[in-house]
Structure 1
Amino acid sequence: MPQSNPSMPICRDCDGFATVAIDTGTRHTDGTRVTLRVDCPTCKGTGHTRPAASLVRTGR
């Protein structure tokens, strides 16, 4: 079966879980919890990194 996305390298800092919800410990007036959404700074919330072949290499 063909895949729609070839094997993209997964971000090593977040292991593909690029966005997390952090509970602040407080509640809204309706009783729901206040959360913050934070993206991985390395992959900018995509969960994938660029392949090493596309990076510019210097030296020999």
Structure 2
Amino acid sequence: MPQHTLPRPICAHCDGFPKVAITTGQTTPDGHRHTITADCPACRGTGHTTPAELIRVGR
């Protein structure tokens, strides 16, 4: 039976693509490229944002 969960809003900063691989321009001795991964700082790598109604502010 499928679960009915509410859709979460997609992050406006990364458009739902929270993790990217960036090439450094260098290659290894066997010809592969060196890559590093980067996460979206706004959604912390989840691809979704938390609705403002759910954020607790103050005490």
TM range (shorter): 0.7 to 0.9
Counterparts of 1:50 and 1:36, CA distance in 2:
27
2:42 is the alignment partner of 1:48: no
Q: Gaps (5+ residues) in structure 2?
A: none
CA distance, structure 2, for counterparts of residue 12 and residue 41 of structure 1 = 12
Q: Which amino acid aligns with 1:47?
A: G
Which 5+ residue runs of structure 1 have no aligned equivalent? none
Q: SS of the residue aligned with 1:47?
A: coil
After TM superposition, the score normalised by the length of structure 2 is 0.81
Residue in structure 1 matched with residue 12 of structure 2 by the alignment: 12
Superposition RMSD in Å: 2.2
Task: Give deviations 1:7-40, integer Å, cap 9, x for gaps.
Answer: 1011110000000011111101111100110000
Alpha-carbon distance in 2 for matches of 1:4, 1:22? 36
Identity fraction in percent: 52
2:23 is aligned to: 23
CA distance in 1, matches of 2:27, 2:4: 41
How many residues end up aligned between the 2 structures? Answer: 58
